[in-house]
A and B are shown apart, each in its own frame.
Chain A
Amino acid sequence: GDSVTQMEGPVTLSEEAFLTINCTYTATGYPSLFWYVQYPGEGLQLLLKATKADDKGSNKGFEATYRKETTSFHLEKGSVQVSDSAVYFCALRLPYGQNFVFGPGTRLSVLP
């Protein structure tokens, strides 16, 4: 079945450090890929997305590139801030479906 795998957390970084959160997927067909972010006590918000191979999604300094050959969509940020502390979810949606498949989430803590 379709699935998303993320690196286990929690990830703890110092402010201004480089961030990478790995995400790989298994899917039949060519899915759209997403990163969502969840701040404490809140729902999820879309962070960025990519709809086809080699697309790069970016937002608020975060980037992820759709790599079809490695079935990956790793999230990166060059310099994290304390305000980036949250849980990050990788997700996919198949092209002819409305349902999203979410990974387990990776908790990021950024220390001042």
Chain B
Amino acid sequence: DIQMTQSPSSLSASVGDRVTITCRASQSIYRYLNWYQQKPGKAPRLLIYAASSLQSGVPSRFSGSGSGTDFTLTISSLQSEDFATYHCQQSYSTPFTFGQGTKLEIK
């Protein structure tokens, strides 16, 4: 199975900050990497697919990069509605594993 490791596990930031979350795969997954946002009590929401493609309706302050084993999600200027948990996921091979999540909190 492909292991997905996110860092950090939690992060405190302020509105307007630039934030980067990292996801590392235990083997190459090419660009089969997706990012989701999840708020408490809600289903995950797709933000980025195929490492860097912005899902329709997602604000352009979200961006993704990387290939192979190392990937990043960047939020260019945090807004209040961005405080949530972020999950990476590989869709290269089954089982489609997720990272452990990164909780983004208000400083």
Are chains A and B native binding partners rather than an unrelated pairing?
no
